[in-house]
């Protein structure tokens, strides 16, 4: 038997392999709530325009509500033979209310229907991710404020560079996540146009009111071109691009956590909540949550590359290739949501080892730049000359296995005779971070101010 929902043109059933490759109900059932919401808005508009009678519209709406309840409670039986969520909902609606169910699809195609459902689903996903990112930023800003004066080494090239504070380091990620939220907000703004009413690709001859359905579904406006309406998946690509950049940021922090919890660094500890043990080595405490956040970024990147590849060669308008837009998106945004939640958990759980951080902060001649800056300020040396003098002093300290602060005044004066004892006041890591008072710098006062700014913004 052919599919009775669309099979008038067909006299035989599809091959089993055709059914296997064609069916999407195995994943697009996730659209159920969005599909029913869109259908209710559509039938309300049809009734308001006199295209469908009020009695039929009321029956359809009641039937859709029953279908929604059955899906929510797990009573609904999904059929692969009906291909997708749209046909499954409509078939069950027909079981409930009879032939009137067939009026629901007036002035509508599965092309604009799936475009609508997917926009609604992605919009809901963005809203959830936005709230999660805000919560993660809040956790980081709170932890940053608590550790505004906790000195740690700052790195470039994974080599000790200059002392910073743990709070300042965390606020760097707060800034990244703020940009991530901005990208998701931009994607949401651009997707917030309603494709319903574009029908298959050319619009419809029925006197529909697309403004009404757009408003009912909380879109800013209807889409302006019916061909673009059904063939556009920019909103998926843009959302996955934002998700990919966000996943990069989460992965970078995860990598740092993996390093920080090693005995070699020992900068933070994680509790049993976010670590696991080894089946053979009883001493191990593995940062598996961080490692999985780092690893799951690949899923997000893969989904973006997948949809870009699907869309790159498609002529207008709709092609079945576009069915491949969903599974990767579902998986990627679920993975990202899980990673955000795990990262917030780790941030709230981690305990910084402030003494270990501080002792590491002075390693590798991390206050060399402070010495060079002092030579410029106190002695009036051009910075390049001060850089050369400092480099010479670093070489002397390195050869004798000491820090810059351990050099004698005589040793310093052997390189630059005008150096005075005042120089030792800038060679401590605490003095170093306190001196970085330029806007955006690592001084504890700056960190407190920036953390408070973020916490106030996130509370609004």
Q: Name the residues annotated as catalytic.
A: 157, 278
Q: Which residues contact 182 (CB under 8 A, 6 or more apart)?
A: none
Whether 117 and 85 have beta carbons less than 8 Å apart is answered as yes
Q: Which of 206, 46, 217, 234 is nearest to 117 (CA)?
A: 217
For 380, the token pair is 């009036």
Measured distance CA(340)–CA(352) in Å, rounded: 20
Name the one residue in this structure whose structure tokens are 């710098």.
441
Q: Which residues contact 70 (CB under 8 A, 6 or more apart)?
A: 76, 92
Coil vs helix vs strand at 195: coil
For 183, counting Cβ atoms within 10 Å of its Cβ (0-12 exposed, 13-18 middle, 19+ buried), the class is middle
Q: Which residues contact 90 (CB under 8 A, 6 or more apart)?
A: 5, 101, 104, 105
Q: Which of 182, 176, 184 is nearest to 141 (CA)?
A: 176
């Amino acid at each position: 038997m052919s599919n009775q929902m669309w099979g008038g043109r067909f006299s035989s059933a599809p091959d089993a392999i055709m059914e296997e490759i064609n069916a999407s109900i195995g994943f697009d059932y996730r659209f159920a709530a969005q599909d029913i919401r869109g259908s209710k808005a559509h039938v309300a508009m049809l009734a308001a325009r006199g295209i469908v009678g009020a009695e039929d519209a009321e029956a359809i709406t009641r039937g859709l509500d029953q279908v929604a309840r059955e899906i929510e409670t797990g009573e609904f039986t999904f059929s692969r033979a009906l291909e997708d969520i749209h046909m499954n909902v409509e078939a069950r609606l027909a079981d409930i209310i009879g032939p009137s169910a067939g009026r629901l699809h007036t002035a509508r195609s599965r092309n604009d229907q799936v475009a609508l459902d997917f926009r609604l689903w992605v919009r809901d996903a963005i809203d959830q991710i936005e709230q999660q990112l805000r919560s993660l930023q809040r956790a980081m800003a709170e932890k940053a404020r608590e550790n505004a004066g906790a000195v740690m080494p700052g790195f470039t090239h994974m080599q000790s560079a200059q002392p910073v504070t743990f709070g300042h380091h965390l606020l760097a990620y707060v800034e990244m996540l703020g940009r991530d939220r901005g990208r998701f907000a931009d994607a949401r703004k651009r997707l917030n146009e309603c494709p319903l009413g574009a029908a298959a690709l050319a619009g419809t001859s029925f006197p529909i009111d697309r403004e009404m359905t757009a408003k009912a579904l909380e879109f800013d406006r209807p889409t302006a071109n019916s061909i673009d309406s059904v063939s556009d998946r920019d909103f998926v690509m843009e959302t996955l691009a934002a998700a990919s950049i966000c996943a990069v940021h989460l992965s970078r922090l995860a990598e740092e956590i993996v390093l920080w919890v090693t005995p070699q660094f020992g900068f933070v500890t994680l509790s049993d909540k976010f670590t696991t043990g080894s089946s053979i080595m009883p001493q191990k405490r593995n940062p598996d949550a961080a490692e999985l956040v780092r690893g799951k970024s690949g899923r997000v990147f893969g989904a973006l590359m997948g949809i870009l590849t699907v869309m790159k060669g498609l002529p207008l308008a709709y092609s079945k290739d576009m069915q491949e837009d969903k599974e990767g998106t579902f998986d990627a945004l679920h993975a990202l949501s899980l990673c955000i939640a795990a990262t917030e958990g780790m941030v709230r759980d981690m305990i910084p080892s402030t003494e270990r951080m501080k002792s590491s902060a002075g390693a590798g001649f991390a206050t060399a730049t402070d010495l060079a800056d002092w030579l410029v300020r106190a002695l009036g040396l051009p910075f390049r000359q001060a850089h050369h003098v400092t480099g010479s002093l670093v070489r002397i300290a390195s050869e004798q296995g000491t820090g810059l602060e351990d050099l004698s005044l005589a040793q310093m004066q052997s390189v630059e005779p005008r150096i005075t004892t005042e120089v030792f006041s800038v060679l401590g890591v605490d003095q170093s971070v306190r001196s970085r008072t330029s806007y955006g710098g690592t001084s504890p006062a700056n960190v407190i101010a920036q953390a408070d700014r973020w916490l106030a913004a996130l509370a609004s």
